[in-house]
Structure formats: C-alpha cells, structure tokens
Structure 1
Amino acid sequence: MNVANERHCDVLVIGSGASGLAAAVTAAHQGLDVLVAEKTDQLGGTSAWSGGWLWIPLNPLARAEGIEDSEQAVEAYLRAELGVDALDERQRAFLRHGPEMVEFFQRHTQVQFQSGSRMPDMHDSPGAARGGRSLCALPLDGRRLGPWLQALRPPLDLISLGGMGIAGGSDLAHFLNASRSPRSALYVAGRLLRHWRDRLLHGRGLHLVNGNALVARLLRSALDLGVSLETGTAATRLLQDGQRVVGAELTQDGRNFKVLARRGVVLACGGFPHDRQRIARLFGHEHLSAAPETNTGDGLRLGEAVGAQVAEDLSSSAAWAPVSRVPRGDGRFSGFPHLMERAKPGFIAVTRDGQRFTNEADSYHDFMNALFRATPDGEEPAAWLLCDHPAQRRYGIGWARPFPFPIGRYLHNGYLKKAASLAELAGLCGIDGERLQATVAAFNANAERGMDPEFQRGASAYNRSQGEPLHKPNPSLGALSNGPFYALKLVPGSLGTFAGLRTDASARALDDRGDVIPGLYVVGNDMASVMGGRYPSGGITLGPGMTFGYLAGLELARQEVTPSGSAGQTRRSSPCAAP
C-alpha cells in the first residue's frame, strides 16, 4: 500500500475479529466507506480460532425448525443465571436485536448459519432450553476468498489436525468413532486426504469450519461491499475534535499516518488476554490464554486515553478455561484448552490431595471457578486430569491425540505422565496416592451404575450432550479401570476476557459519568461483558459480539457529522478518498 500521511473514510474499525467485521459489513451495507485495520498479518483474531458458536435465543433458524421457545423463558433463564431481578438495557437490546442480526446477515451477506438445535444451555436453570438457542456458520470453501485466503488466520494448530478444523456434530462424531466404524474410518480418511491435498496445492486447508468459516464468510461479505482491509496496521492513538473521536493514528511498516473517520471509530481489538500488567492486577494467579498473543489490550488502552472506562466490577474478568502447558521449544508454553474430553467416560480430575473438586463435565468456566474455590489461599490453582488407556486411545487427552496417533513425544517432553498403576501415577504427579486410589475406587463404583452422588455428573442436559452418546447408562460417566493410566496438569487459562470498556445499548463508549463519548464504539471483548462476567451458555461471546457489531454499524449509518463535529442529518456517504 502507498501510505499517505492522511486518509479519509466514514468508519474505521480497529481489529478484524467477528465482532469488528460485523460492524464493518453492516456499515458498508448502509453505504458507508469502511476501513478495517488489523495490527497482525492475519485476519480474524480469536474468532478464527474459536468454535464459532453464537448464542442467539429465538433466532430465525430455530423458529423455522419449529423449536418452541419464548421471550419469557429466555428472560427467566438470564435473570436466574445473572442473579438479577431485571435485565439491563444492553441485555434487553441483545435479546431484541440478536434474531434481527441473524436475519440481516442471512438475507444480505455471505454469512450463512446452521442451527444448533441439539445444543442445550449450560445450566438447568428456570427457562433453560434443550437446544435451538445456538447457531454457527456453515462451512465454506476457502477458494471463495481468492488471494485473501492466505491472510485468514488458520485454525489453532494445537487443537487442529495439521491445520484442519473439525466441526461439532457429525463431523466430530466420525473422528471419534474412526476406530470403531468402517463408515467413519472412510469418512475421516477422505477428510484427511483432501486436507493434505489442499495443503500441498494451496498452502492450507480449503474446507473451512467453525470460527474459521464465520470469519471467512464475514471477510467475503466485506470484500463484496468494498470494505478496505489493511493488515500489519496498528492503532497507536485515537484522534479527537473536542470530545468527539474523529479517527486514529496508525502505523504500518514503520510509517505513521492518520485516518480520519467521518462517522466514527470502532474498537474491536480482542480484549486483554495477553496484557501482562492488567492481568496481574485483575487476576491474581497464573494465566495462560488460548487467544492469540497479539491480543494485548490495545483497545482498552486506546479507549481509556480518551476517557472511556473499564468495567472491573464483573463476576469474572475472563472466560475461564482449564489449559495444559504445551512446551514450545523456546522455553515458553502455549495453552491447550480442555473443552471436550473432561466430560467423556474414563476421565476424572483431582487436586494434589487426590480428591475431586467439581463436576468434570460442567462448562470450562464453571470448572475453573470450582478450582479457584478449592485452592487454598497462597497457592497457585492447579489440578490433574486423569484417564485410563481406552479413554486416551478413544478421545485423546489434551495435546496427546487419540488412536492412531502415537503418544511417545508427549511422554518424552514431560507433557503427559503414564504409569501402570494409579499409585505409580500419583507418585509421578505429586498427588496423594492413597487418597487418589480411594477417590477413583468410589468414582468407579458409582460410574458403573451411571451415578455421581458427589457432583451429579451427567445429570444435566449439558453434561449429557458433552458425553459419549453410545456409552450407557450415563454418557458422561465411565470407570477408569484399564491401565496404563495417564495424567496431565491443568492450570488457569481463558478463551478471552470479560472486563472491558463500558458502553450503552448501541455499543457507544461511555465516560466516567456515564455519558456517551461521541464517535467511539466498542464491540467484542473490548466491550464489558454483556453477561456481567457470567457464562450462561456456549456462544455468549460471539453472539453479543456480532449483535452489537451489527448495532454499531446501524448507529454509525444514522450519524452525519459536519466538519465542525456537530451532528447533522443522516445521508449516504460518498466514496472515501485519500488526498
């Protein structure tokens, strides 16, 4: 790009995750000139690594399927989950406009969804649903992005097979059953062969799923609408005319320039999962995030510098998840997020005293909150995830893949522990051996009957959905009875952060008096959690993120700003031009 000292556009979006792209696409559809600035060389942020699920109650896909739900049930569920008597204006705006957002993208863009009709809410609170409130993007052929495919952040290498994403539902079921079903084995072989063919010919897989498909569809939509996309372009300062935010200073390839945005600026930088200073102040414990390392809190700092306020009074400051420390070879570690296998038969989690501390099949956020409560003051939270040999070969344990992948490298580098007996395994891990054996014996006896009187694992709809449907009598409970046995250490991590900038129901940033900062919008994890730091269901990050991105785009299209900075009449913008 030939960078001029100054560029002009209607809307500047800083960050390229699903929330920021939703704002960009919506604004561009309304006729505005939009520039998206991404500080890394890859587009998509954490969204491109995610499962890609959105929680949107009463969405049009569920209604088309005839799934029964109601506004009263949804509000009752949220009130119970959030511990409030009434929903606030942002929560009401999310529920009211979420289905509208889905309808907009389905009707006017390349973003197409599929229903999560069998994905239940995470808790059996009043108003909970057994399915129909979640959806995700349909898979996409990467060739539809053309040369922009190479700029799309690939799936997270730790949890993908050589860069190949695996979707939930039938796709994942085939991979888990490949050693048991000839049909599934044939399906998996075909997927792997196509993936490696695509990597050989195109440098990456072309069958895009999950969050990769969502971001790809948003990118295709943005390109169709003429949105300008700039990678390797970081924002260093917001520009103001009086109180109004009118653009930003950006840097690209060591050169600085200004972008003046007639309508406003949208912060969508992905929160602060790798801002070590803010983490140390808010978390108080070790933290190994599964988000990209470049998500260092830029949006929060930019907003604070012009008077925006970070909400730190939330139930949780992050979307907690247990992670295991994967050695990278340079003395550092990456965090493998344990989202799935904990709920499968043949797994159990204990602290160093050899005792269970929670329902292993509960959500990742609940699992970590339980570990925090179980950790004595002054100690770093940690737990051990254990399984027997059939469970490891069937489901894998963390980074150690299931059959037919060998596990020698994981044992050699210390990531995974293996022993012929539980007592020996306890010695390797520093766990109380006698208590561990007693814990597993009691767990096994109850699991054989499909019961967990201690933590009720497998009792909730969410627990059962995360288990193994072919396993009886309880899909989430199975004894650890066939050695050798395996273990790995779990430490605190997150999928993203919740403490963000305060906004109103139109995603406009607020100052310390609760007044709107003109021209500044905040979406995604830069926005304070709409759920107050709680985690009622899967998709409560991307669902509100895209909804408020959509609302920000609409609000920006309503605003007309004269050169003096005062609001005028709405009009369609003329094309952006650099002088």
Structure 2
Amino acid sequence: MSDIDCDVLIVGSGIGGLTAAIAARVAGLRPILVEKQHLVGGSSALSNGALWLPNNPLMIREKVHDSRDAALTYLGNFVADDDPGSSLARRGAFLDGVAPVVALLEAQGIPLQRCEGYSDYYDLLPGGNAAGRAIEVRLFDANLLGPWRRRLRPQSFRTPARASESAELSQMGASWEGKAKTVQVLMRALDARLRGKALLSAGAALQGRMLLAALNRGCDIRTNAGLEELAERNGRVTGAVVNFDGWKRRINAHYGVVVAAGGFSHNRGMRARWQDPLVDPQWSSANPGDTGEAITAMARVGAALGWMNEAWWVLNFPGGGKSGSHRIVPELHKPHIILVDQAGRRFVNEAAPPMEVGRACLERNRKVPALPAWAIFDSRHRRHYSFGSALPGRTPRAWLRESHLRRNATLEGLARQCGIDPGGLEGTVTRWNTMAMRGIDEDFGKGRSAYNRYYGDGGHVPNPCMGMIAKPPFYAAPLVPGDVGTCGGVLTDEHARVRRADGSAIEGLYATGNCTAPLAGPHCAGTGQSIGSSAVFGMIAIRHLVR
C-alpha cells in the first residue's frame, strides 16, 4: 500500500468540501479532495442551492437590516447555550465567518444574489428576519466544466429556476405574476437550448460554480475514492486510508483532515440504531452516498456524537409510477388544504417549516396513527396549484388508477377510501371552513408568519394560506416523513475541530456539514442553513489548521 502525501486531506465534495478545497488553495496549501462516488457535488447539488448566511455583505449592500446580535439571538431560540453540538462560541464563529466566506466565493468569480423575501423559517421569534437571510448563485452553464461536466451530480429537477423564483412559480395557475414567471423560465430554457447551453440552477448551479472555481485553483479532486479509516499518531489524526476502486492507499496529510462527507440517510443499520424505526430509508431523497462511513470512522478515533436521532425532515408523496417520490412543501402553504392523521384530526400548522412538519408526523404517530399523514384538499386546490409533479388542473390518471391519490365526491367517501375516521374528518373540515372564512387559524396559526405566507396565495383573502375545503371532488394524498439528509453527527467546536466526549479536541481532525451535529439543534432556522454553515465551517477549518 503506497502512500500519497498532501498538506490537507478533504473528504467529501459537497459545499463544505469544495469550500475547504478552495480555501486551502488560497492559503497556498496542496489539498487532495476525495469523493467516494463517481459524481461530485454531494447532497448540496440536489438542494435548492440557498445558503443561510445572516448579516451577510449582500444584505448590507442592499440596506436590508440585520445584525450579528439579532442573528445570535435568533439561533438562541433553538438550542441552549450549553448545547454540546452548538455552543455559544460555535454560533458566534459561524456568524463571524459569514463575511469572509462570501468574500472567498466572490473572489473566485462566483456571482451571488439575495433570495429576497425568502423569510427565516421562524421570523416571529426574537431575532427573526422576515426579509430573508439566504443567498444563492446565478444560473450556470455546465459546459464551462469541460470534461468534468459529466462528473457533476445533476440537479433533482430540470427547470432552470432559482430558489428565489420557486414561490412565484408555485402560483402559475393562480396569478398573472405566476404565469409571467413561468413564461420567463420557459423562455430561459428555450434560449439555453438554442444556444447549446447546459443550464443548471439551484444546488447544481452552486456546486457547478464551486467545482469550476476549485478546478481553476488547481485543486486535486479524486472520485471513486472512499474513506476507509483515519490514521493516527500519538493522538493526532495524520491522514487516512482511502479505497480507490478497490486499491487501498494511505494519504498522509501534513496539516490534518477535513471531513465533509454528509450523513447516514441510506444506512439502514445506523438509522435503526439512532432513529424512529418506522422511518423507511427509501423515503429519503438525500444523495445515494449519504451512508455514514465517515461518521463511523470519526467515532472510532474518539469523536463524540450529537442529535443522531434527527434529520432534515420533509414530507414526501410517494406517488406515481415513473414520476417517483415528490417533496411536498409549497403545496401545504396554499389555501384549500389541510393535513390530518388517521383519526381525521389536524395536528400541525401545514405551512410550518418542513422539518417541523415532518417531526410532527413522527410525534403524532406515537399517539394516533399518522404514517402516512393525509393531505386533504378540494378541486380548487387541484385546479389552481401544482401537487408534486402534477401541474395545476392536470392530475395523472395513473395516480388515481393505482391509488397513489384518492378522489371522491364526498368527504365521507374519501375518508372511507383512506381508512380515515369519517366523523373525525367531517368535524375537522367543518371547523377549518369556519376558521377559513375569518382567515384566522385558531388551532395552529397557519398563515400567521411571513414564512407561512411566502408560499401562500397572495391573491387569496383574507388569509393567503387558508381556504375552505368545500368544492368537490375531494382529494387525499398519503404523505410520509422523508428527508434530504440526516443532520446528526460528530460534535465540533468553534474552529470546526472534532471533539471527544470530554470536550477536548482531536488534533488534526476537522469536520463540517451533515456529518456534524447541527447549528440549531433539532430545528432548521432558515432555507439553506445546513449548506451555509457547511461552507462557513469548511473555510474556518482551513484557516485554523494553517495557524
């Protein structure tokens, strides 16, 4: 087994790994980045591409009010000051790293812009920001990558639309603004096709630009190279054994190892050990490489773990033959729809952040069967809004034929089709309709926050998220708590160093991203939180190890 030498070994090619690789080259180091899969990009490439970065320079330039103190207060809503996975010092380091990471990306020629109006998920809490703290990249022509184009993980949808355009697109069947945005995106796609561009958006655009920047900096990126074990000497991590397509080689890292290798969504053994046994890994839409070997390798050298029971939950509609599974988020913010358990009762604000709604299903299921939970909506929702891959007014016949989606002329008949208590559902809908006429959800507050309303129907009054469920036929869709990745992992400090259970740092070992315990504990503070913090701590790790 011959050795390879480098200054820093980076494991994983998501946003954290590529940021670390670029930062290492800027610092004059010789990094090697290894990715166990053939494709580069990780789960970041499958995301909406947003980075949650409070008080960022783009907000300052556009005079959007924010501050470090406000952001620190906001993060404090979710975890205690002594939380082992998110200490006060770690939160502060994240916020202090926002401006430098934006400067790092912009220095590589990566064009950034704000996701205007994409509110914090909990904007009503102290320190929350309704204007939004997320940023994103502009669209990217993958042809610029040359031969590396085929080694970039493709995006999870074909529409060349940014995260900040998703709310308007979700209104395509309900408003002229939505129709205009749809036409704009379609013309964009047509123009790209005529010009021979391979236009990418969202997470694929972000990772395409990051990969191009890393290649332009001369980063050594090696695919089909999986971490086997970390190498130690006198309590310090000095490198790792890496499996290159069956050929194991040791990589010696002079300064240390940065692990940015994601979580364990597709590892049945780890999920069975740490998470709700009813969660099926097949419900996950995380990238196939989210299998947890890196977390296990770090634990073997003494890393402490935290929040292993959590994931970035999002409800999935496992509907429809070739169309596969669909994440359901904007659909639940719209009027004329509620979410119920098997007893026909609501149990959550349907327009709450995806992680909260998914966890609510799991918690409800401990009391009343709620796996699946049922989205109940009427013909107006189906006529005006998309549901999964089904455009407004167009319901795939296969969904109905194969019972992925249920339809009935009456609520009672619909309930019996789904095994829902008919009386419970009738009572819930009656109460919902009464509240919808007033526009006030007295039970769960749907439509109260800026985030609730972000995906609502702005033309629907008095509440853009509430509408009566009264016009037949009625529909029911089974939804299950999938995820876009697990969010528990090793504990790290403010320098991204991996920690032992006694709080001491493992010298030479750094980590970032979904293989680490999250910054806001069992919550997601805003769209792009995991990607934003992963990028920041990827940079912080490099800055610390070269000290």
Q: TM-score, normalised by structure 1?
A: 0.87
In the alignment, structure 1 residue 471 sits paired with structure 2 residue 460: yes
Indicate the larger mover: 526-535 or 209-218. 526-535
Match of 2:536 among 541, 547, 553: 547
- The worse-fitting range, judged by mean Cα deviation, of 514-523 and 165-174 is 165-174
1:420-444 Cα offsets, whole Å, 9 max, x none, are 2222211111111122122112212
2:306 aligned residue: 311
Checking the alignment, whether the CA contact within 8 Å between 1:175 and 1:188 is kept in structure 2 is no
Q: 2:294 aligns with which of 294, 299, 306?
A: 299
The one-letter amino acid of 2:95's match is: L
Which of 40, 58, 62 is residue 37 of structure 2 equivalent to? 40
Q: Could you say if the C-alpha distance between residues 299 and 115 of structure 1 is closer, same or farther in structure 2, counting changes exceeding 3 Å?
A: same
Shift of 1:385: 0.8
Q: Secondary structure at the match of 2:318?
A: strand
1:493 equivalent in structure 2: 482
- 1:220 shift after superposition: 0.8
Residue 293 of structure 1 and its aligned partner are, at CA, apart by 2.6
* Contact 2:52 2:528 (8 Å CA) reproduced: yes
Q: Secondary structure at the match of 2:465?
A: coil
Give the equivalent residue in structure 2 for 1:323: 316
Letter aligned with residue 310 of structure 1: L
User: What corresponds to 1:484 in structure 2?
Assistant: 473
Counterpart-to-counterpart distance in 1, 2:306 and 2:100: 27
Change (3 A) 1:190 1:452: same
Cα RMSD between the aligned structures?
2.5
Q: Which amino acid aligns with 2:202?
A: N
Deviation string for 1:208-235 (max 9, x for gaps)?
2111111111101100110112222211
Matches for 1:152-231 after TM superposition, within 5 Å: 152-156=152-156, 160=157, 163-170=158-165, 173-174=168-169, 176-177=171-172, 181=176, 183-184=180-181, 186-194=183-191, 206-231=198-223
Matched residue type, 1:370: A
Give distance in 2, aligned partners of 1:544 and 1:189: 33
CA contact (8 A) 1:269 1:299 kept: yes
Distance 1:215 1:115, change over 3 A: same
Partners of 1:384 and 1:489 within 8 A in 2? yes
Q: 1:139 to 1:177 in 2, by over 3 A?
A: same
How many Å apart are 1:446 and its aligned residue?
2.0
Q: Which residue of 2 aligns with 1:391?
A: 381
* Cα distance change on mapping 1:174 and 1:317 into 2, 3 Å: closer
- Which residue does the alignment assign to 1:346? 336
Question: CA shift at 1:362, angstroms?
Answer: 0.7
Q: Would you say the 8 A contact 2:120–2:132 is kept in 1?
A: no
Distance 2:340 2:199 in 1: 38
**Corresponding residue number in structure 2 for 1:568:** none
- Alpha-carbon deviations, 1:525-579, whole Å to 9, x = none? 1111122222222222111111101101212333xxxxxxxxxxxxxxxxxxxxx
Structure 1: which amino acid aligns with 2:99? Answer: P
Residue in 1 that maps onto 2:142: 142
Rounded to whole Å, the distance in 2 between the matches of 1:483 and 1:165 is: 35
**What code does the residue aligned with 1:296 have?**
T
Q: Which moved more, 1:97-106 or 1:456-465?
A: 97-106
Change (3 A) 1:328 1:516: farther
Shift of 1:78: 2.0
- Residue type of the partner of 1:297? G
- Larger mean CA deviation between 412-421 and 300-309 belongs to 412-421
- 1:125 maps to which residue? 125
The C-alpha deviation readout for 1:477-501, integer Å capped at 9, x for no partner, is 1222222222211122222222211
- Tell me: CA distance 1:505–1:85, structure 2 relative to 1, closer, same or farther (3 Å): closer
In 2 relative to 1, CA 44–83 (structure 1 residues): closer, same or farther, beyond 3 Å? same
Classify 1:450/1:10 alpha carbon distance in 2 versus 1 (closer, same or farther; 3 Å).
same
Match of 2:363 among 373, 381, 384: 373
CA distance in 2, matches of 1:133, 1:262: 37
1:181-238 deviation digits (Å, cap 9, x = unpaired): 464554354245356668xx6xxx7222111111111101100110112222211121
Question: Displacement, 1:30?
Answer: 0.9
Among candidates 251, 254, 261, match of residue 262 of structure 1: 254
Query: Can you give the 5+ residue segments of structure 2 that lack an aligned partner in the other structure?
Result: none
Relative to structure 1, the CA distance from residue 117 to residue 380 in structure 2 (aligned partners, 3 Å threshold; closer, same or farther) is closer
Could you tell me whether the CA contact under 8 Å between 1:56 and 1:133 is conserved in 2?
yes
Work out whether residues 310 and 499 of structure 1, in 8 Å CA contact, stay in contact via their aligned partners in 2: yes
What amino acid is the match of 2:232? Answer: Q
Partner of 2:273: 281
* CA distance in 2: counterparts of 1:171 and 1:531, whole angstroms: 25
In structure 1, what is the equivalent of residue 404 of structure 2?
415
Three-state SS of the structure 2 residue aligned to 1:448 is helix
> Which deviates more from structure 2 when the two are superposed, residues 443-452 or residues 344-353?
443-452
After TM superposition, give the deviation of residue 21 of structure 1 in Å.
0.9
Q: Of 13, 28, 31, which aligns to 1:31?
A: 28
Distance 1:494 1:267 in 2: 21
1:535 matched to which residue of 2? 524
Q: Deviations over 1:139-190 (max 9, x none)?
A: 222222222111111112xxx2xx3353233465246326864645543542
Matches within 5 A, 1:511-530: 511-530=500-519
- Gap change, CA 1:74 and 1:262, over 3 Å in 2: same
SS in 2 for 1:169: helix
- Give the CA deviation at 1:389: 2.2
Task: Using the TM superposition, give the Cα deviation of residue 93 of structure 1 relative to its aligned residue in structure 2, in angstroms.
Answer: 0.7
- Of 240, 251, 256 in structure 1, the residue corresponding to residue 243 of structure 2 is 251
Give the CA deviation at 1:419: 1.8
Cross-structure match for 1:433: 422
Say if 2:239 is the partner of 1:242.
Answer: no
For residues 70 and 182 of structure 2, the distance between their equivalents in structure 1, rounded to whole angstroms, comes to 42
CA distance in 1, matches of 2:509, 2:320: 40
Q: Which residue of 1 aligns with 2:113?
A: 114
Cα distance in 1 for residues equivalent to 2:448 and 2:395: 34
Decide whether aligned partners of structure 1 residues 386 and 166 sit closer, same or farther in structure 2, where only a CA change above 3 A counts: farther
Q: 2:449 aligns with which of 451, 460, 480?
A: 460
Distance change (3 Å), C-alpha of 1:409 and 1:197? farther
What is the CA distance between 1:47 and its match in structure 2?
A: 0.5
Cα gap change, 1:171 to 1:427, in 2 (>3 Å): closer
**Alpha-carbon shift at residue 403 of structure 1 (Å):** 3.5
User: In 2 relative to 1, CA 71–253 (structure 1 residues): closer, same or farther, beyond 3 Å?
Assistant: closer
Aligned residues: 538
Amino acid at match of 1:125: L
Structure 1 spans left out of the alignment, 5+ residues: 559-579
The aligned amino acid for 1:305 is: R
Q: Is this contact kept in 2: 1:239–1:249, CA < 8 A?
A: yes
- One-letter code aligned to 1:142: A
